[in-house]
């Protein structure tokens, strides 16, 4: 495995190629850089998989059937030009730069951990930050072929992520009837008023006891201030820790009824990502802890988080999954994004040891 200086040089190359998810050309340039860096480490060029104009990379290492899937993404949330104001920097044990924590350091760790191994698939996607619309089927296909999926998303205070809530997204549309707000409002069916009823009804679907959150977000209604609104819409973000809870909320969302019988309601959307439940990660986490103790490495804690990742997809198809194996630091999607340099080498060594163990035990 390369020393820290080599890993920092590789990280710099990736970070200094900006890759906002919404810019297909930028994602393509980033894929070129990841491919070049990866080929230098792994001794092989990746397969380029372009779906809907977006570039994903896949390495299948060795001659054996794939048994371990390493999963990451090279797109970021940062627009072109961010690097000029927040350049790559290493100072006082901290590395900075857009996308360093989420998740270009994780990619460097994956590449170095996989070098020279047989039976590993490394998949690097280019659309995770926008929900993986073009890569989901590819991720699920690779996960089904593997005995374990290890996701290089950043950690939480050094903890690996053993649980992630599932995500469901909805848009609720209310249809009413327009009328002049001053002359004859009684002839209208006020979509804004009905929307208010529905927002309250949807909010009540949350269940604090199970950690299920149901959050109305963006709302739009009406066209002019002197017209009874004929149409309104609002978006809903649902996070649930179990499939059972996702299904309960989904049934309720599709069973909404109007308070004003003259109004009509339509619900679009549904489950976006299944949850990564503890049962999918328990075995891998226990193995990771045993390896850490045996090798004298720090034993990482475990975390449950509300945010989703591509690990939700791998767990959703039944593949044992452990997430948050990447960088230690903080500030994901924020101006203070950073990585603790001293954690990069030991975390990579632990990842390598876990992969080696899985390759001989599967």
Residues in the chain: 362
CA 250, CA 257: separation in Å to the nearest integer?
14
The residues of the chain scoring below 70 in pLDDT are 1-2, 362
Measured in degrees and rounded to the nearest 5, phi and psi for residue 174 equal -110, 125
The answer to whether residue 336 is catalytic is no
- Please report the pLDDT score of residue 298 as a whole number: 87
- Which one is catalytic: 10, 75, 163, 250? 75
End-to-end CA distance of the chain: 23
Left (φ > 0), alpha (ψ -120 to 50) or beta: where does 72 sit?
beta
Name the one residue in this structure whose structure tokens are 């609002």: 234
The answer to whether residue 343 is catalytic is no
User: Contact at 8 Å (CB) between 193 and 301?
Assistant: no
- Please report the pLDDT score of residue 361 as a whole number: 85
- Which one is catalytic: 128, 163, 194, 250? 128
User: Contact at 8 Å (CB) between 105 and 339?
Assistant: yes
Write down all domains in the chain, each with its CATH number in brackets: 4-164+275-361 (3.40.630.10), 166-273 (3.30.70.360)
- Please report the pLDDT score of residue 329 as a whole number: 97
Name the one residue in this structure whose structure tokens are 């570039």: 55
User: Contact at 8 Å (CB) between 78 and 335?
Assistant: no
Q: What is the pLDDT of residues 169-197, one digit of tens each?
A: 999 999 999 999 999 999 999 999 999 99
User: Contact at 8 Å (CB) between 221 and 175?
Assistant: no
Give me 99's structure tokens: 């996308």
The model's pTM is 0.90
- Please report the pLDDT score of residue 165 as a whole number: 97
91 burial via Cβ count (<10 Å: 0-12, 13-18, 19+) = exposed
Instruction: List all residues 6 or more positions away from 238 whose beta carbon is below 8 Å from its beta carbon.
Output: 167, 168, 169, 170, 205, 212, 213, 214, 215, 246, 249, 253
CA 242, CA 209: separation in Å to the nearest integer?
13
- Please report the pLDDT score of residue 171 as a whole number: 98
- Please report the pLDDT score of residue 1 as a whole number: 57
DSSP state of 261: T
Helix or strand holding residue 238 (H, E) = strand 231-240
CA 68, CA 124: separation in Å to the nearest integer?
14
């Amino acid at each position: 495995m390369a020393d820290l200086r080599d890993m920092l040089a590789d990280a710099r190359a990736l970070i200094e190629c900006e890759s906002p998810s919404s810019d297909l050309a930028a994602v393509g340039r980033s894929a070129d850089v990841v491919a070049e860096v990866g080929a230098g480490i792994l001794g092989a060029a990746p397969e380029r998989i372009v779906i809907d104009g977006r570039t994903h990379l896949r390495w299948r290492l060795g001659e054996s059937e794939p048994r371990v899937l390493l999963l990451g993404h090279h797109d970021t949330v940062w627009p072109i030009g961010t690097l000029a104001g927040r350049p790559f920097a290493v100072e006082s044990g901290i590395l900075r730069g857009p996308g360093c924590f989420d998740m270009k350091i994780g990619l460097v760790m994956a590449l170095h951990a996989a070098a020279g191994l047989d039976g590993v698939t490394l998949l690097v996607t280019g659309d995770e930050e926008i929900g993986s619309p073009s890569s989901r089927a590819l991720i699920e296909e690779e996960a089904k072929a593997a005995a374990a999926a290890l996701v290089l998303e950043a950690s939480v205070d050094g903890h690996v992520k053993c649980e992630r809530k599932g995500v469901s997204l909805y848009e609720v549309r209310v249809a009413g009837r327009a009328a002049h707000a001053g002359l004859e409002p009684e002839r209208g069916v006020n979509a804004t008023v009905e929307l208010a009823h529905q927002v309250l009804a949807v909010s009540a679907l949350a269940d604090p006891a199970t950690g299920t959150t149901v959050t109305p977000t963006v709302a739009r209604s009406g066209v002019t201030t002197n017209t009874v609104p004929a149409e309104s819409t609002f978006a809903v973000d649902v996070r649930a820790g179990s499939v059972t809870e996702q299904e309960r909320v989904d049934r309720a969302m599709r069973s909404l009824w109007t308070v004003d019988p003259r109004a009509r309601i339509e619900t679009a959307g549904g489950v976006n990502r299944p949850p990564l439940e503890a049962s999918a990660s328990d075995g891998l986490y226990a193995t990771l802890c045993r390896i850490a103790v045996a090798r004298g490495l720090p034993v990482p804690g475990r975390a449950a988080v509300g945010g989703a990742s591509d690990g939700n997809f791998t767990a959703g198809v039944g593949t044992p999954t452990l997430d948050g194996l990447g960088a230690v630091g903080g500030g994901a999607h924020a101006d203070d994004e950073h990585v603790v340099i001293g954690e990069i080498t030991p975390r990579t060594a632990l990842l390598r040891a876990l992969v080696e163990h899985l390759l001989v035990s599967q």
